[in-house]
Amino acid sequence: MNPPLPPRVRVAAYVVRYGARGPELLVFDHVGVPEAGTQVPAGGVESGEELSAAVLREVREETGVEGARVVRALAVDHRPHPETGAPRRTTYFLLHAPRGGPDHWEHHAAAENLRFRCHWQPLPLTTPLADHQDAWLAAAEPTWGARVGAGRS
C-alpha cells in the first residue's frame, strides 16, 4: 500500500480595500474560462518560499497589484482539490490593498499566457467564490461571511 501523498502547500489572499462604498474584496475571473468561477488570488508555495512572500507573489502574478500589505494569516484549510481530490493545505491571508488604482482592469499573466478580469467586489459577498474560497472571510470580519454561507452545502 502506498503512503498518502503529502498535501500541496498553497496560499490564498483576501486583498481588501476600504472606500466610499465600504470594504471591497479583490477578485478575478479567468478570461475565456467561465467554468473557473470568480476567485481570489491563490496558488502554490515555491520551495523555500515564506508563506507571506508567496501570497504577495500570487497577488502580483494573478492581478498585477503591487504594494499590498499582509495583515495576518486567518486560517489553514485542508480541502482537497475539487477535481482531482489531491490533498492541499491552503493558508488564507488578509491583506490591505495599496491606495488608488482602478475599480476594474484586465491583467495578462505572461508566464502562463493567462488573462484575468479583475475587480473589487463589495463585502459581504452576495454570491460564493469558486472552490469555497470565501469560507474564511468571516475570520477576517464576522459580517463579511454573512450572506455567502446561507444555503450552501
Domain boundaries, the chain: 8-145
Q: What is the pLDDT of residues 26-51, one digit of tens each?
A: 999 999 988 999 999 999 999 999 99
Share above pLDDT 70 across residues of the chain, in percent, rounded to a whole number? 94
Reported as a pLDDT band with limits 50, 70 and 90, residue 16 is very high
Strands 69-77 and 42-44: unpaired
Amino acid at 27: V
| pLDDT tens string 68-82 | 999 999 999 999 888
Give the total residue count for the chain.
Answer: 153
Q: DSSP secondary structure string, the chain?
A: -PPPPPPEEEEEEEEEEEETTEEEEEEEEETT-GGG-SB-SEEEPPTT--HHHHHHHHHHHHH-----EEEEEEEEE-PPPTTT---EEEEEEEEEPPS---SEEEEEETTTTEEEEEEEEESS-SSPPGGGTTTTHHHH-GGGGTTTTTT--
pLDDT band at 153 (very low <50, low <70, confident <90, very high): very low
| pTM for this predicted structure | 0.91
CATH number belonging to the domain at 8-145, selected among 3.40.50.620, 3.90.79.10, 3.10.580.10, 3.40.50.150: 3.90.79.10
